[in-house]
Structures are given as structure tokens and as C-alpha cells.
């Protein structure tokens, strides 16, 4: 983040109902965003249950919630375990090679471009997303170099229409997930009301990459994990 | 275009059923694309009739046609005459200030992102779109500087997944629409089977910016205009 940044007036954030983006929403409010729009996208993911958690978060934070049906786009995204029912969600650690199956091609450009479209047409001042350092090894569109290339692109693409000083906020990009858990604790984020699991069951499976990463983050942060995992029994 | 470019194997083109993108499809085939996918997007535009023309073009060219329903996104794009029924389509010349009402915020990034998502997940070699020099004055996302910033962004965003030497083709970006008409004539493009009008009626209105521009292009190119305009009577 540059030192000259200021709290943005109206921020449009792409958000799931996950731990990272819920903490992002709380952070943006605490950081002084005068207006917050949370954009949840149903892109045909197995775990669209996350969006009901996002809607609840929006209510709590007095934010505007927009649920966008992009499920028609799933047909474009063959071969990802997140959108293609024929591809199994791999178990194990998030950084394993097998987790490459969970990469959705060009996901963050697409989601951010929807947020930018809304931001430009409503005169908003920034878009935001919850990419963090742990994502870098698998997802190329979660790296600082991506954020900068993206900011440059949308500034050029919308010249004359985009707000002066428009920002692409990725405040967690240098943080680990454990650090996000610690930040969320300070911000009173109700972690029990967030959803991470990629399997799309009724409870967190406790085995998939994101469940493994979620458990690990709470353990490393030494913060109580309120999640009810299938693997806990009960 | 760089001098080292080669005909791409599989090209995914975003296309309407308009004069430019129909000529683009014919050009890509003539240029040696081994496989061509035409991606038509219903983004809530008034003139979605253009997509039926696109489907016919795909059949003629033995290309794959994908129609993507993105109409849910129209809610994000308030304030454009193309998607908001409350905003009138301005008559007059395409380069008039009033035509700024037809700008859809962040449109080409969004449409290209869908093409890139499909291209990356299917291993295609390029995306293409039909921006031309006449668009530059109104649409910032039709300029060469945008194409370069966009190419850079998606290369970073999809590093490790995108095909080596992946191209963003905009072969008409330095051409006027009249030059596209002349090129289309050489390529035997059936202009009568293309759609330009923004009004969404059964015939071309003959008055809106794109109709005016279309008429003018045929006149400047000294090519017979087979379009049946409302303003012609009959």
C-alpha cells in the first residue's frame, strides 16, 4: 500500500462469505469507508452457500449487498474443481500441487472487472478484494504484481469515466491467513458466521484444502476456532 | 501488431453480430486460425437481436458459437443507454458528446476476461476483438494503449496456466470503419447478415449513432450498402 492512501469514500468489494473477505468487509468499515458495497458472485461454484453468509455480513455492517448470477459463465470454465462437477475437489494441503485443480482461470480479473463496472457507473472510489500472501503460490492473480498490472489496465480502460485517484485495495496481500485471523479478532469478526469449505456440504468438511488452511490459521494465530467441522464428529 | 505474429491455432473472439466483429470472424479464418470460437454475450443490451446474426455467422464459418447470459450484470451497469431502459439512445453522430451515454463502464475488460477465462481453461492461443480507430474518441477501452495494458494484466494474472505467447488480437485497431467495409468486401462478408443498430427494433433505425456510422462507412468505402433502414421507408 502506498503511504498516501486515504480512506476511500465508496468502496465496492468482491467478497465471498469466507474468512478473508468477511474480515475485509469489517476492515474497510473500520478503515473509514463511508459507503460499502459487497458484491457476491455465483459463478457456479459448488460452495455457493458462502453467499448466504455474505448477505448476513452485509446486514450487520449496514453495507449494500449485490448477488450477481454469473452461473452462465461456468460453461466457460471447464476443468476447475470449483465449477466442474466432474473434477473432484482434492483433499490435503492448500499449497499442494493437486490444489492447482481449484484454480479458476482468470477469476480475479473477471470478478474485479464486475466490481469496477459497478464502481465506475456509480462513481465509487475504489474496489477491494481479500487476496492474501498464502494464495500467492497457487493463484497468480493474488500477487502484488497482478494488482499493479490490474490497476494500470482499468485506469486506461476507463479513462475519463473513472473517479480520480481510483484505488484497487488489497490490504491483506502481504499477510498470512493467521495474521488475518488475528486482525479479525481485533475487529470482532464473528468467524462462526463465515464459510470456507470448497465441498459445498452443510458443514465444513475439515479435509479439503481451504478447510485445512482455515484450521491451520486459527491454530497458528492461537485463536479459538468456532467452526464445526465434519471431521470433529458430532 | 508485432512483425513476429503468426496465425494463432485456437482463437476465442468476443463478437456481436455487427459489421466489425463479423468481418473480424472472417478475417481470423482467412488469417489461418485453425479453430475459432465466437463468444456472444447477452449483457442486457437493447439490441440483443445482434446475437442471432452472430450464431448464423458461426455456422457459415464452421466456428463454435457460445452465447453467454450475463444479463444479471445489467444491474451493475446503471446509466448506460445500451443497458438501462430509462436512458434514451441518442440520435446523431457517433462521435458526438451525447454518445457518451452509450459507454458501458469497463465493457471490453469484462468481455475479454470471459474470453480469456475460456481460452485459458481450454488451452487456446489467443483472444480477439473488433475495436477500430473510430471507437477511440469515445471508448477508452478501444485504444492500443488499453490492449497493451490488458495483455500485460492477463499474462500476469494467469502465469503458469496461459499458453506461451498468448496473444490479444485487435487487428482493426488502426483501421477506420470504412476500411473494415473494404476489407469485408474482399473477404466476401455478407453485410446484409450483420446488425449494428442500438435501438433494438426489427430493422436498422437509420438514425442512432451506430446506424449513422454504418451508413457513412459504406459511403466512404464506396461499397453498396445492403442494409434496409427504417429511414429508407418501404
Instruction: Convert the pLDDT of each residue in B111-164 to its tens digit.
Output: 999 999 999 989 999 999 999 988 767 789 999 999 999 999 999 999 999 999
The answer to whether residues A171 and A128 touch, using CB atoms and an 8 Å cutoff, is yes
Yes or no, beta carbons of A140 and B117 under 8 Å apart: no
Among B76, B83, B99, B122, most A C-beta atoms within 10 A, so best to mutate, is B76
The residue ranking higher by pLDDT, B219 or A139, is B219
Confidence of residue B84 (pLDDT cuts 50, 70, 90): low
Cβ-Cβ contacts under 8 Å for A85 (sequence gap 6 or more): A46
As a whole number of angstroms, the distance between CA B175 and CA B170 comes to 10
Confidence of residue B101 (pLDDT cuts 50, 70, 90): low
Confidence of residue B12 (pLDDT cuts 50, 70, 90): very high
As a whole number of angstroms, the distance between CA A29 and CA A24 comes to 9
As a whole number of angstroms, the distance between CA B204 and CA B198 comes to 8
Angle, CA of A159, B143 and A152, to the nearest 5°: 50
Confidence of residue A154 (pLDDT cuts 50, 70, 90): very high
Sheet holding B126-128, edge to edge: B64-69, B35-42, B10-14, B126-128, B167-169
**pLDDT of res. B74:** 73
Going by the DSSP 8-state scheme, the letter that residue B89 receives in this structure is P
Spell out the domains of chain B, with CATH numbers in brackets. Answer: 10-232 (3.40.50.620)
Nearest partner of A37 among A22, A23, A27, A25, judged by Cα = A25
**pLDDT of res. B155:** 97
List phi, psi (to 5°) of B14: -80, 135
At B21 the three-state DSSP class reads helix
> In this complex, which of B76, B114, B158 lies closest to A73 when CB atoms are compared?
B114
First to last CA, chain A: 44
Q: Which residues in chain A have Cβ-Cβ distances shorter than 8 Å to B39?
A: 76
DSSP string, A188-222: T--GGG----SS--SSB-SSBHHHHHHHHHHHHHT
Which residue of chain A comes nearest to B142, CA vs CA?
A157
The residue ranking higher by pLDDT, B95 or A165, is A165
Yes or no, beta carbons of A116 and B108 under 8 Å apart: no
The residue ranking higher by pLDDT, A1 or B105, is B105
C-alpha pair distances (Å), A47 with each of A83, A132, A198, B66: 9, 20, 5, 25
Q: How far is B143 from chain A (nearest CA, A)?
A: 8
**pLDDT of res. B10:** 96
Q: Which residues in chain A have Cβ-Cβ distances shorter than 8 Å to B159?
A: 140
Confidence of residue B3 (pLDDT cuts 50, 70, 90): very low
Nearest partner of B146 among A151, A162, A110, A156, judged by Cα = A156
**pLDDT of res. B28:** 97
Q: How far is B76 from chain A (nearest CA, A)?
A: 5
The residue ranking higher by pLDDT, B79 or A62, is A62
The chain A residues in contact with chain B (CB within 8 A) are 39, 66, 68-70, 72-73, 75-80, 103-110, 113-114, 116-118, 120-122, 140-141, 143, 145-146, 149-150, 152-154, 156-161
The residue ranking higher by pLDDT, B104 or B47, is B104
Q: How far is Cα of residue B126 from the mean position of the Cα atoms in its chain?
A: 16
Q: What is the mean pLDDT of residues A68-73?
A: 81
Instruction: Convert the pLDDT of each residue in A169-222 to its tens digit.
Output: 999 999 999 999 999 999 999 999 999 888 878 899 999 888 999 999 999 999
Q: Which residue has the cell 451497469?
A: B77
Nearest partner of A65 among A108, A22, A117, judged by Cα = A22
> What global pTM score does this model have?
0.88
Q: How far is A149 from chain B (nearest CA, A)?
A: 5
Q: Which residues in chain B have Cβ-Cβ distances shorter than 8 Å to A110?
A: 110, 113-114, 117
Quote the ipTM score. 0.86
- Burial code of B210-228, b = ≥16 C-beta within 10 A, e = fewer? bbbbbbbbbeebeeebebe
Q: Which residue has the cell 493463484?
A: A139
The answer to whether residues B194 and B19 touch, using CB atoms and an 8 Å cutoff, is yes
As a whole number of angstroms, the distance between CA B33 and CA B209 comes to 32
Q: What is the mean pLDDT of residues A128-136?
A: 87
> In this complex, which of B103, B107, B113 lies closest to A110 when CB atoms are compared?
B113
Confidence of residue A3 (pLDDT cuts 50, 70, 90): very low
Lowest mean pLDDT among A47-51, A52-56, B3-7, B227-231: B3-7
As a whole number of angstroms, the distance between CA B96 and CA B219 comes to 20
CB atoms within 10 A of CB B61: 17
Amino acid at each position: 500500500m502506498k503511504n498516501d492512501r486515504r480512506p476511500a469514500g465508496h468502496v465496492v468489494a468482491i467478497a465471498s462469505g469466507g474468512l478473508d473477505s468477511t474480515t475485509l468487509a469489517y476492515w474497510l468499515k473500520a478503515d473509514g469507508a463511508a459507503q460499502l458495497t459487497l458484491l457476491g458472485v455465483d459463478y457456479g461454484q459448488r460452495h455457493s452457500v458462502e453467499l448466504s453468509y455474505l448477505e448476513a455480513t452485509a446486514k450487520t455492517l449496514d453495507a449494500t449487498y449485490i448477488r450477481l448470477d454469473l452461473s452462465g459463465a461456468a460453461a466457460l470454465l471447464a476443468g476447475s474443481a470449483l465449477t466442474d462437477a466432474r473434477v473432484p475437489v482434492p483433499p490435503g494441503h492448500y499449497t499442494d500441487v493437486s490444489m492447482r485443480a481449484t484454480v479458476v482461470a482468470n477469476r480475479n480479473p473477471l470478478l474485479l472487472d464486475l466490481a469496477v463496472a459497478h464502481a465506475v457507473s456509480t462513481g465509487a472510489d475504489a474496489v477491494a478484494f481479500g487476496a492474501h500472501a498464502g494464495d500467492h503460490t497457487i493463484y497468480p492473480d493474488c500477487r502484488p504484481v497482478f494488482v499493479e498490472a490490474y490497476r494500470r489496465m482499468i485506469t486506461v480502460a476507463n479513462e475519463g469515466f473513472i473517479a480520480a485517484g481510483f484505488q484497487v485495495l488489497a490490504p491483506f496481500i502481504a499477510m498470512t491467513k493467521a495474521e488475518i485471523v488475528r486482525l479479525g479478532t481485533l475487529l470482532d469478526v464473528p468467524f462462526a458466521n463465515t464459510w470456507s469449505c470448497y465441498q459445498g456440504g452443510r458443514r465444513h468438511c475439515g479435509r479439503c484444502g481451504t478447510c485445512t488452511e482455515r484450521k491451520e490459521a486459527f491454530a497458528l494465530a492461537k485463536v479459538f476456532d468456532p467452526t464445526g467441522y465434519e471431521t470433529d464428529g458430532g
